[in-house]
Chains A and B, each alone.
Chain A
Amino acid sequence: MLHYIGRRLLQLIPVLLGMTFIVFMIIRAIPGDPAQVILGQQASEEAIKALRTNLGLDNPWYIQYFDYLKGLVTGDLGESLRTRTPVVDEVWPYLAATIELSLFAIIIAVIIGINAGIISAWFQNSWFDYLAMIIALIGVSMPIFWLGLMNQWIFSIELGILPTTGRENVRDPVDVMTGFYVIDTLLAGDFNQLSTVLKHLVLPGTALATIPMAIIARMTRSSMLEVMRSDYVRTARSKGLSMFWVVYKHALKNAIIPVLTIIGLQMGLLLGGAILTETIFGWPGIGRYIYEAIGFRDYPVIQSGILIVAFIFVMINLFVDLLYGLVDPRIKYD
């Protein structure tokens, strides 16, 4: 197993290296001069030139690329062209914000998605089955933008039970320790704030969860249907075990593997796909961090931001692969 993990981690290196190269080339291929964008419309030509030289943008691309790689090896992700702060120093709050939101979203998606899928399979062709699958279809095709604004309107303005935007009640700010506000408020023992923080998670969390929830529900349903037709389930049933026991104890274990794969993939997509949600809900996460960096042609931030997201994506997939073995001991790693 350790051997397997080691090999997978080694495989990471060429993947991430290739990715840095692709990202590096793509963002340099789009027109737009960072120096011009940073200094703004008012800047003089000399100032722009001076800044370009200072930022090393005058060097040929391969020198810039190797400088970047050299930095990466020493854990230096470069310095934001716009704020002049090392990316390493400023990325954590954004990353924490996105991870917190994504985890919350995936938890909702998994709990509701898996259960809806199971129940649909259990009562196949019942009204619940049809309804759940119709909702799932709508969920997949609903634009997040529209859903988000509608939710704000209904739950914040009309009903007044949830906040529209942000991570915390600005009038009673959270003392940041870890960057995960749920954990920070728990550490501070402030349950009032914890409840506020969780409330702030609900709207962006559900908006973000909608699509994975729908996909997980459909995947669980079809996977369950297959397993339920198998002999051992029939045997278990005929032994007189209750349906609930059969489904949750026996069938689910075998049906869960493909669902796990989907969850892993969706989780990675959430990290990268949070941009829209983060924009609508004023969520200061990594999606917006990268998005704004693109507007400013802030190369180091774009490169490193995407690299970090890609790294997490790959790690999640590794984790999911390891999880297979835990769920199904027949799966061996060698």
Chain B
Amino acid sequence: MGKKKFLSWTFLLLLLVSTALYGCSSDEGSKEDGGGSAEEKQLIFGRGGDSVSLDPITVTDGESFKVTKNIFDTLVNFGEQDTEIEGALASKWEPSEDGLSYTFTLEEGVKFHDGTDFNAEAVVKNFERWAAGDGEKFPYYGSMFGGYGDEEGHVIKSVEATGDYEVVFTLNRPQAPFLKNLAMSPFAIASPTAFEEAGDSFGDNPVGTGPFKFVEWKRNDTITIEKFDDYWVDGEPKLDQVVFRAIPDNSARLNALLSGEIDLADGITPSDGKTIEGNADLQLYERPSMNVGYLGMTVTREPFDDPKVRQAINHAIDKQAIVDAFFEGRAEVAKNPIPPVISGYNDSIEDYEYSPEKAKELLAEAGLPDGFEMELYAMPVPRPYMPDGQKVAEAIQKNLADVGVTAKIVSFEWATYLEKAANGEADAFLLGWTGDNGDADNFLYALLDQDNVGTNNYTYYENQELHDILIQAQSEVEEDKRNELYMQAQEIIHDDAPWVPLAHSTPLLAGGKNVIDFKAHPTGSDKLAGVDLE
């Protein structure tokens, strides 16, 4: 046989290994910094996961939007670091007095990456495409605009081109967050020629008007986009290429940043914040907070059906201690279900103070002087609004023990966790929410209205008065009146106490010192058009 074969194989293996070793010892920049030609400005953005699709209307995950935000533009845009509305593809817009129609004036001379012109017709075609879809194809369209086509709840009645660069939206009923919805990443305007041609595969070959055009996608690894020379904003983008790289493990991602393999790292754990601040080669970015982490109590389960018990739990938990210990202080103690940056935030609410005595009193009033036993669900995955669910749960367990409540911590794998919580199987559970469009409705209605029991209202909390207010606020176009309604809503929620709002966290990112003008956006998807490298 193959003694010879065996030998030649061995030889081949030796060759391979020695090449590898040679590779290691060669001094050709293993640090991998500044490869390519000197002028090429290439930014590598390290993040935790891959995108699902690059056709933003078909997805709901943040990792997809992080990329599409830079390939596509929306009609209107959020502010640089807030959710105020600014012009984008539409330079001007005029709402009618009754709030039932909006006239948009579009930017002229804008091109899609495939060379076709952006105009009113393109906008119409995009909206026609979405409105003809369904919840499965375009999930966000239905949830933000109340449905599709002729469905009863559908907010958008028609979208018409009234000129080459003028579009009129007619609504079935006024929708207060209409513009904020339009600014969301899923409603980015794509090239009609491209999506008509590509059909279902448009998500693999996205074509927009954004600062960067799509180059290549290596699944679960990298997505590469490069400068679009005909971008309509003067002087942007500054970078030649951006590579989004998936590195799932937080520590490994930080290691990659430290070794210079990536320029920006998303999802920095609060405990690493100090390390980065102490490193002269790095800078730390704080993403403005637009989230809430909370302890939800399923109000249909005993004894949480008694508001006194829920208030008692609110008094029992030392939120400041939790924020200090597990968010490393990089969070604000929450007293409302919406973060303070959101218009309509009620700052006059007086939070339940941390007081085990008051908690015990309330429990006694509720007929539970000796406390009770309960199950406490601890999140198995870190999220920006909850860096370590297990530890936060342990702290809460200790707080509860102090007032005589015995909490048993349980945890499930994430999908199971969400399903069990949504089914109302938890006594109390840790969870959170990151806002989509910076509107109070996106927090209060989505999370605490009776319409959403079993989907996002995991506590099964129902209150008719609250419901009426929230529905009224949805179509109230006048900002002040609307804010007033939300203030009232927060009071009701505060008194009924279905949650213990815990914290509004500040998600962290880190980058090399050579990164210039990176601004972390509260929505979690960052536009990199203005970012430069030294």
Contacts and interface: CB of A to CB of B under 8 A. Distances in A.
A148 B248 CA distance: 14
A172 B32 CA distance: 9
A154 B262 CA distance: 18
Contact of A282 (B14, B247, B258, B412): B247
A152 to B, nearest CB: 4
Interface in A272-298: 279-282, 284, 288-289, 292, 294-297
The 3 closest A-B pairs by CB, nearest first: A47-B135, A32-B415, A171-B35
B271 interface: no
27 contacts: A33-B419, A39-B60, A44-B135, A44-B139, A47-B142, A48-B135, A50-B136, A54-B136, A93-B218, A94-B219, A111-B17, A152-B252, A156-B259, A163-B30, A164-B255, A164-B256, A167-B221, A169-B32, A170-B245, A171-B32, A173-B224, A198-B20, A199-B24, A202-B20, A282-B245, A292-B220, A326-B1
Contacts of A165: 247, 252-253, 255-256, 261
Nearest to A288: B220
Interface string B130-170: 00001110011011000000000000000000000000000
B136 A47 contact: yes
A307 interface: no
A309 interface: no
Contacts of B142: 44, 46-47
Given A40-B60, A170-B261, A153 B136 contact: no
Interface in A131-150: 148-149
B455 interface: yes
B454 interface: yes
A148 B255 CA distance: 11
B181 interface: no
Nearest to B417: A32
- Interface size grouping (class) on chain A: 35 or more
A160 B418 CA distance: 42
A164 B261 contact: yes
Contacts of B42: 171
A42 B261 contact: no
B249 interface: yes
Interface string A196-209: 10110110000000
Contacts of B246: 282, 284
A105 B156 CA distance: 58
Contacts of A111: 13-14, 17
Given A32-B419, A43-B139, A163-B259, A199 B23 contact: yes
A240 interface: no
A157 B32 contact: no
Contacts of A194: 19, 23
B24 A161 contact: yes
A84 B413 CA distance: 24
A171 B262 CA distance: 10
B446 A42 contact: yes
A107 interface: yes
A82 interface: yes
Interface of A: 30-33, 36-37, 39-48, 50-51, 54, 82-84, 90, 93-94, 107-108, 110-111, 148-149, 152-153, 156-157, 160-167, 169-173, 176, 182, 192, 194-196, 198-199, 201-202, 279-282, 284, 288-289, 292, 294-297, 326, 329
Nearest to B53: A83
Contacts of A198: 16, 19-20, 23
Contacts of B134: 47, 50
B221 A172 contact: no
A6 to B, nearest CB: 22
B26 interface: yes
Interface in B1-46: 1-2, 13-14, 16-17, 19-20, 22-26, 28, 30-32, 34-36, 42, 44
Contact of B221 (A51, A110, A164, A284): A284
B456 interface: yes
A297 B415 contact: yes
Nearest to B257: A164
A171 B44 contact: yes
Chain B facing A: main interface SS: mixed
Contacts of A171: 32, 34-36, 42, 44, 243
A148 B258 CA distance: 16
Nearest to A45: B455
Contacts of B418: 32, 36-37, 41
B419 to A, nearest CB: 5
A169 B262 CA distance: 10
B160 to A, nearest CB: 27
A132 to B, nearest CB: 19
Contacts of A326: 1-2
B24 A202 contact: yes
B474 to A, nearest CB: 15
B52 A83 contact: yes
Nearest to B62: A40
Contacts of A44: 135, 139, 142-143, 455
A162 to B, nearest CB: 6
A162 B30 contact: yes
B222 A43 contact: no
Given A176-B218, A192-B28, A47 B255 contact: no
B463 to A, nearest CB: 20
Contacts of A149: 251-252, 255
B415 A295 contact: yes
Interface in B411-469: 412-416, 418-420, 422, 433, 436, 446, 454-456
Nearest to A326: B1
A62 B474 CA distance: 45
Given A44-B135, A50-B135, A107 B249 contact: no
Contacts of B229: none
Contacts of A201: 20
A40 B256 contact: no
Given A166-B221, A166-B222, A202-B23, 6 more contacts: A31-B412, A43-B135, A90-B219, A166-B256, A176-B218, A288-B248
Nearest to A172: B35
Contacts of B196: none
A186 to B, nearest CB: 10
Contacts of B16: 107, 182, 198
Given A36-B419, A156-B259, A284 B251 contact: no
Contacts of B261: 156, 163-166, 170
A282 B416 contact: no
A148 B454 CA distance: 42
